[in-house]
Amino acid sequence: MPRLVMKFGGTSVADLDRIRNAATRVKREVDRGFDVAVVVSAMAGKTNELVGWVRQTSLLYDAREYDAVVSSGENVTAGLMALTLQEMGVPARSWQGWQVPLRTNASHGSARIVSIDTEALEKKFGEGLHAVIAGFQGLSPEGRITTLGRGGSDTSAVAFAAALGAERCDIYTDVDGVYTTDPRITRKARKLERIAYEEMLELASLGAKVLQTRSVELAMRYKVKLQVLSSFSDVPGTIVCDEEEIMESRVVSGIAHSRDEAKVTVIGVPDRPGIAAALFGALAEGGVNVDMIVQNISADGRTDMTFSCPVDEVPRARVAIDAAKASGALDFTGLDVDEDVSKVSIVGIGMRSQTGVAHRMFQALARDGVNIKVITTSEIKVSVLIDRKYLELAVQALHDAFELEKIS
């Protein structure tokens, strides 16, 4: 029988009524002839509550016990979903990550998937049982429960779809697909019928909240077709697929934004080999997630190096940079931090074959008086840092400039 993985996020299983609603959707697919593996998140708000309890108990908590506590939310949902399906006449059994097992490395709190042993699941499918799997969790080499990081249930779902050879992985959430930009910023935002893996990966990494970045990476690597759709309506969702399955590549498919960014400039750094490695090595060790990087022109043997990072990581960046200076690994004359910036990006696989895309973007921003502080580009994206107060204006201007309201 064909197989389907259905993943339900926290808002889709927030209470018993919503679990019943999700179970009804599962039964519909079972009745269509699918062997279904359901992957569930914890009920909305439960993971945050569990994390809060851990931090109240111990500020310097044991990461292994953190995972034991925080993973429990998915266990509850999986059991309730299996019970609900049974009441609907669908033979179902719940599975925790260690029972499958989904094996990970030992990086508690942000574990990476190593392998999935599907033998036991395959046997249950053969017996006519459907699986309800607790997402977000796995089993370390030491036999401890691990968690995959926030949004890890998406990654679990895609990994199971790949391991089981599923026809598709449906990601149910509180939105009905992937939009050209955030509909809360502009009413002109349009839902995309299809989007390429590469575009979705860029949008996810640049601030779009629809899918977790690692889940898109896995889907692209293993050619798992994704569908993003709503648990609360029956309208078709957005298919995330190979570029070849899209009739015509759009120049720009979407606009992503990240509101709370910071621009950090390390002033007067010696312009010599190894200095960038010293700076960004210190930041990496300090756990700072660096994004955009720009180095200025050298003058008198010194230069300035600018990077962006999430604004809540600025304190860690300051500590890491000061520590590197104190140890003698890094020399600089000053540090300038702007914590009032946002990042706006345009993304589209059509940029590979079109000229003038960056000019069109910059011209649109200039018309509305939006000054650009930093620019970075890749093959299918252009990102800029701007003053945060202009974020909504910039998104609307770019959406209009590339006529994204005409996308269907």
> Which residues, in sequence order, are CB contacts of 401 under 8 Å at separation 6+?
360, 361, 363, 364
What residues contact residue 306 under an 8 Å CB cut-off, 6+ apart?
263, 264, 265, 266, 292, 293, 294, 295, 296, 374
For residue 242, what is the enclosing H or E element? none
Backbone angles phi, psi at 232, to 5 degrees: -115, 10
As given in the structure block, the two tokens for residue 152 are: 């890890």
Residues whose CB falls within 8 Å of the CB of residue 406, separated by 6 or more in sequence, listed in order: 190
Annotated binding residue at 173?
yes
User: Position of tokens 């969702």?
Assistant: 237
Please indicate if the annotation marks 228 as binding a ligand.
Answer: no
- CA 379 to chain centroid, in Å, comes to 20
100 is in an annotated binding site: no
73 is in an annotated binding site: no
Distance CA 387, CA 313 (A): 18
Cβ burial of 333 (10 Å; 0-12, 13-18, 19+) is exposed
Helix/strand/coil percent split, the chain, to 5: 40, 25, 35
392 known member of a binding site: no
Tokens of 55: 């931090």
356 belongs to an annotated ligand binding site: no
Does 263 show up as a binding residue in the annotation? no
**Amino acid identity, residue 257?**
H
Closest CA to 231 of 93, 28, 66: 28
Q: Is 286 annotated as a binding residue?
A: no
333 is in an annotated binding site: no
Tokens of 296: 């200025």
CA distances to 44, 90, 103, 144, 146 from 141, rounded to whole Å, are: 30, 34, 7, 7, 10
Question: Residue 61 belongs to what H/E stretch?
Answer: none
**Does 119 belong to an annotated binding site?**
no
Q: Which of 32, 73, 408, 40 minimizes the C-alpha distance to 231?
A: 40
Strands 130-134, 92-95: pairing kind: parallel
Nearest to 173 by CA among 396, 2, 18: 18
47 annotated to bind ligand: yes
How far is the C-alpha of 137 from the C-alpha of 74, rounded, in Å?
Answer: 8
Residues 6 or more apart in contact with residue 329 via CB below 8 angstroms: 278, 282
Q: Which residues are annotated as a binding site for ATP?
A: 7-10, 173-174, 179, 184, 209-210
Known binding residues are: 7-10, 47, 74, 173-174, 179, 184, 209-210
Q: Which residues are annotated as a binding site for substrate?
A: 47, 74
